[in-house]
Structure 1
């Protein structure tokens, strides 16, 4: 039996390495988004600073491993078999849940997933044990008080972080305005002193000073003299900040980089348990069983040893830190999650990642009405003065930045302070929740959410917060189900779930790789919104429009053929796939229209005036393509779903030459738009007119055929075919409009 559990432990350790990659991909957003969003330094520099914080935090994190050992469960009443079942179920569920959220680009909390997975697995086994043994109480198996305090603190931190983000950012902007360099002469020293003191308190007094590697007498002295140290740090750092400011050093940039280091250290120190705590607890359990079981069966050897504090070898912690640094630097998924947080906090107009929702619309409407009510009673002079402090025309953004360094500094300092307060009161706040909600609150206070974008960004915040709550529910229920299946299914069930995890991870990474292929078009849009030269914006916009319209033409041709194939072969599955593809493409076209319209406002004025009519005609033609295909598809799909008479062979043969001509014309159109070479433009339009004339002849012939037919059994399929002929003509008309619009817009 021992070799089997050794294999499980090895599997847990392998999952720990992968969990580090997946978890860091998700949690890197906590400490990287402010520095990256404000472009305070090169990406490589930010990574180096964060890596230093991660390395130190990882080595100092040994004491946090107790959460997985006895933070949720009471291990004295669980056998070796029980805890290994719980640990394996937790890791299996954790990998799947976190990877799913990363693939969707949604931030989630590794703390939430770990706590609720441990809670779910422990809860379900506790229920079974209490049912089997009346002498056992729930509190003998589940650490209910600790679990409840963790849950409450995690979710209360959402509101606290958001409200404090709004208040502190609003006050900071009143002081510094968007032209922070002009208003920093005296206030920067005080701000820098407060920020440095807060971060120093976070890094040294709450980080390094709590480490097991610091001598006990040093820790005691630091705790006894904390107030004196804070006062001295504030005075000294304020003087240093003023001197650096006079020497033309950007204090905000310094604070942002220091804050990045502090949060990275906190992340590694506090959250490392989320990734390797369970596998290391499994390893300790196995070592204890091998050394002390004395032949006792796995179901009867109780795990009292897990009540003791973890003594994690430094080499494990160092190796985990190295893996986290490598994952942070190389993971595309990490960059995707960072993009979500940066986009939601963005200062300028841009592409909105989320749509609208009823809840978001209600929140925005109530907020606007409340703002209007307050404005009625506020003196006009005060309102004008406040507005002058929020003049975005004076904003000083670094090249390519989504927001300025003032907001980046507030995000990091405030997040660090809140986490420090939580630590003081022994409230295990989620670093993900705190950093994300501070960023959302500060962006709202900064008036980054205009009336045009507010509903989309509120939807985004609701979606992300909802995702966190869903994480909790999914983690709890999923782990409970997996755990009970493993408990009763034994080794066979455990091996089956291990194989399932490997399969799901391989499939997930393949799907994400396919998704990344479509990212190039998003890169072009981001470049358009960050570029200041209108001529370069125009070149990029022409490229973007060309690719959008050529892809739409290719998409339409493929799905037109798929509909006809589905009708001829009566394959309902093909038609359902086309229906789903049309719905997705309609959403994509709406997104690209907004992107391109935003970019069109940034091109030279004379070009915009000259070309905007053709832009709108082109995008309308693309949308009409989708509507046209939908009008073809719906009758065909209904016909096939109802198993009505198939399309007669004579209709198929009659339409085949027309289908070939339409395909050839669509290919010509796609080629001309994608290459921006329109030498054969008039010839293509002429051939399209000829094809439309042929369709008119066939349509008239078919109408006569319907009129003269006495066989009512073919009436339904005849009407479907008539609709196909009519909409094929409309398809060609749309193609002509799009080709003409593309030529006039790109090659005018």
Structure 2
């Protein structure tokens, strides 16, 4: 019996290590995004400072795990075997849920996930106990600490609204003071700003960061608690003077100091206080085992008879476990690619300027943006024009000769990054002082979104996408709560009835899902790494434009050729799965061409005067590629729809004719690809003539099908599909000819100009 629970504990601690990894990968966004987004220092320096904060916070944490042990449920109402079911269900759910959000590159709250998992599992076990005892469901209140659970939920929801509002207001005031040319105004108000920011962050460290740290004397913590106002005033005076001295006599930026100190503070608080979300449950399980084992050796009490009243007391976590947890967190911080992905999701939502948007607009985002625009227009009628002009001047960015979108540029400036850290620190400190529950993830994210809004980072060109992104993330938070509750409840119910075998099966399923997630994510990253990344704002000569266009044309045609061949083959075989795969490849290719089209503005702006005429060629090239994609898109989607609807297969003669066209088309496509990859362009004229012959062949097949309808064809669905395939193939060939003709004329003109 003991051996079973020892193995169960081993499984729990393995899950804890995995949970630390996936949890840090998601929560790292809380303390990294401001420093990384503003490029206050190199990524290596930022990670080093964050690592020190994480290590100190984890190693010197008191490790009091009240949330896991008694925060959500009343342990005295459960027996040891039931408590262990709750704990293993929670850990399996947490690992899978956080890994899912990491794969989706969305930030979520590890606090919310653990709270709702504990709630779901304990409610499920409580209901099962009530049903077995034939008690009233009203007794459920005896099992669950409902007041605490409701307090946590309401506190978190309230913090979201407050964080967004306060972040937006403070950033608006800060920008009004500094404008975007903050370097000029730092010597006048930078000292006060530095004093306020560093004081708030220091106060945050004292109140939130070192709360419960074992090496800090209780007398010092009591002194801090009793003299908060004195400490704040003293820090403000000291840091204001220090900031002003730095500004006047050194060239080192006070804003950088604020950002790096803030990064350390948030990392410290995250590790010291959110550690419960990752190792609280396994440690509570270990403490439960020790309590039962002692009673078992003394009295022989069975797990199903040992009530867990003793779990309500305060028990500190062993130091060696905290040291190990700190090591795992630091290693994850440096090595996790998913952590970077989640971080850049938030940075891209907060960035200034336009660019590729990750999220698609929806009805709600359009409604919000439209309403905001209307509200802004209404307000403009109330505020006098001279005041509006002054405000606009403070929020206007320095004009640039050329519009650029450089990946090396910071996503936002250090004023906004400082405000993000300062406001997050103040809000979390205040909530901690008032003993109000909140999620550091939600606060950090909503502050960043609020500062982005008031900083006019969301312009008319990007607002609908950014707002959609914010709604996606917030929607994900609600999904976290619902899925955490339901999944933990289901897992605990399965284990309650299936016992040991159920645990083994669930663990195997969890391992398989994690491995699958890892393989899928790595494959996705390899594809992204394999794609050639070109900064089109640097294409300033005609040679470079021809080279880039050649690469685009050969790449798109290569994939169109493969998709066309696959669709014709799989249509004949009625292979729905492979047709669906081709449909997905078409969507991906279409997105890539859309990305090329979104770069046109920056591309034209960056051209030198001698190459401006090439912009028309570049635009027409993309337009022809888009025409080709529309044709192949129709072929792929309608073939999939035909098979998916279980319509009759095309006749043998029709499939044979399509395959003949495919063979000819594939041969010509290969010649085009070879020509463009070598950039010789010597065979273009010949290819155009051969393409025209193929066009005539397709026209003959259309006439042949018309005759077939009048004599032998009996299926209208087949006729519709076959005509559609032939007509779109004809359009595909025509678009290809137009593209080749355009390219041939352009590069011939270029040769004459060079001579």
Q: In 1, distance between residues paired with 2:546 and 2:88? A: 53
1:355 paired residue among 351, 355, 360: 360
What stretches of structure 2 of length at least 5 have no aligned partner?
Answer: 751-755
Length, aligned pairs only? 740
1:158 paired with 2:160, answer: yes
1:116-167, Cα deviation, whole Å (9 max, x unpaired): 1111111111222234443883332111111111111111111100000110
Deviation for aligned residue 1:620: 2.5
Decide which of 215, 236, 239 is 1:237's aligned counterpart: 239
CA separation of 1:688/1:60 partners in 2, compared to 1, >3 Å: closer, same or farther? same
**Residue 557 in structure 1 maps to residue 555 in structure 2:** no
Which residue matches 2:439?
430
Matching of residues 121-520 of structure 1 within 5 Å = 121-133=121-133, 134=135, 137-208=139-210, 210-246=212-248, 247-293=250-296, 294-393=299-398, 400-520=409-529
Change beyond 3 A, Cα 1:326–1:523: farther
Give the Cα separation in 1 of the matches to 2:713 and 2:186. Answer: 85
Local SS of the residue matching 1:451: coil
Q: In the aligned structure 2, how far is the partner of 1:280 from the partner of 1:312?
A: 7
Matched with 1:582 is 586
Equivalents in 2 of 1:539, 1:441: separation in Å? 44
Question: How far apart are 1:308 and its partner, in Å?
Answer: 1.7
Counterpart of 2:727?
726
Q: Distance between the aligned counterparts of 2:358 and 2:76, measured in 1?
A: 48
Whole-Å separation in 1 of the counterparts to 2:642 and 2:348: 45
- 1:30-41 matches, within 5 Å, as 30-41=30-41
Contact 1:528–1:541 (CA under 8 A) maintained in structure 2: no
Task: Tell me the secondary structure at the aligned position of residue 184 of structure 1.
Answer: helix
What TM-score results when the alignment is normalised by the length of structure 2?
Answer: 0.92
Change in CA separation of 1:674 and 1:452 when aligned onto 2, cut-off 3 Å: farther
- Residues 30 and 608 of structure 1: is their aligned pair in 2 closer, same or farther, counting only changes over 3 Å? farther
* Cα distance between partner residues in 2 of 1:47 and 1:144: 39
SS at match of 2:102: helix
Question: C-alpha offsets along residues 157-206 of structure 1, whole Å, 9 cap, x if unaligned?
Answer: 11100000110000001111111111112211111111111111111344
Which residue is 2:105 aligned to?
105
Distance (Å, rounded) in 2 between the aligned partners of 1:715 and 1:343: 49
SS of residue in 1 equivalent to 2:73 = coil
**TM-score with structure 1 setting the length:** 0.93
- Post-superposition Cα deviations, 1:664-686, rounded to whole Å, max 9, x if no partner, equal 22223334445545333223222
Query: Do 2:191 and 2:240's aligned partners in 1 also have CA atoms closer than 8 Å?
Result: yes
- Residues 24 and 369 from structure 1, CA distance in 2 versus in 1: closer, same or farther, beyond 3 angstroms? same
Equivalent residue number for residue 4 of structure 1: 4
Encode CA deviations 1:446-490: one digit per residue, 9 max, x unaligned: 111111111110101111111111111111111111111111111
Structure 1 gap segments, 5+ residues each:
none
Aligned-partner Cα distance in 2 for 1:129–1:607:
81
How far, CA to CA, are the matches of 2:212 and 2:13 in structure 1?
Answer: 27
Q: Is contact 1:524-1:540 (8 Å) kept?
A: no
CA, structure 1 residues 124+742, in 2 after alignment: closer, same or farther (shift >3 Å)? farther
Q: How does 1:580-729 map to 2 (within 5 A)?
A: 580-594=584-598, 596-606=599-609, 609-633=612-636, 636-637=639-640, 639-641=642-644, 645-674=648-677, 676-707=679-710, 709=711, 711-713=712-714, 717=718, 720-729=721-730
Deviations 1:574-603 (Å, cap 9, x if unpaired)? 334434443454344334422x22431442
User: Post-superposition shift, 1:636?
Assistant: 4.1
1:360–1:458: 8 Å Cα contact kept in structure 2? yes
Residues 491/674 of structure 1: CA separation in 2 closer, same or farther (3 Å cut): farther
Alignment RMSD (CA, Å): 2.7
Tell me which moved more, 15-24 or 670-679.
Answer: 670-679
Contact between 1:645 and 1:713, CA under 8 Å: does it hold in 2? no
